[in-house]
């Protein structure tokens, strides 16, 4: 079983994928294909998607039971001791971080005075 999710991709690519997979919603394709066909479809997506994004998820043997590929997405797959987890990319901050207040916090001031609750 495999799931392919496209966003901001050409309509021609979606039409091409319907030859092999069912389009259950706009840009969401589901089907069962061999590994050779899956790799061929993923290569086709990489060639023709342009600036669009794509995620391919397929079932496999292993602890998680699935594997995936990602193209130009906000989340990146990271291998952590054999488990593939998704890591969100951090945004580059263009503004300065907020200034920290100087001095003691209320809890610190009470601790200095010996007043504990």
What is the number of domains present in the chain?
A: 1
**pLDDT digits over 31-40, tens only?**
999 999 999 9
Tell me how far apart the alpha carbons of residues 31 and 92 are, in angstroms, rounded to a whole number.
38
pTM: 0.71
**pLDDT digits over 48-68, tens only?**
998 899 999 999 998 899 998
* Residue 30: domain span: 2-90
Q: Is residue 117 part of a domain?
A: no
Give 21's DSSP letter.
S
Tell me how far apart the alpha carbons of residues 44 and 64 are, in angstroms, rounded to a whole number.
26
We report the CATH number of the domain holding residue 74 as: 3.30.70.240
């Amino acid at each position: 079983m495999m799931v392919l999710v496209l966003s901001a991709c050409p309509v021609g690519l979606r039409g091409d994928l319907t030859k092999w997979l069912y389009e259950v919603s706009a840009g969401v394709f589901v089907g069962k294909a061999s590994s050779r066909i899956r790799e061929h479809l993923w290569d086709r997506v990489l060639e023709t998607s342009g600036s669009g994004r794509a995620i391919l998820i397929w079932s496999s043997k292993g602890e998680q039971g699935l594997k995936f590929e990602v193209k130009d997405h906000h989340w990146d797959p990271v291998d952590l001791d054999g488990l593939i987890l998704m890591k969100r990319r951090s945004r580059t901050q263009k503004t300065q971080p907020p200034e920290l207040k100087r001095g003691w916090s209320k809890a610190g001031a009470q601790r200095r005075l010996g007043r504990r609750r």
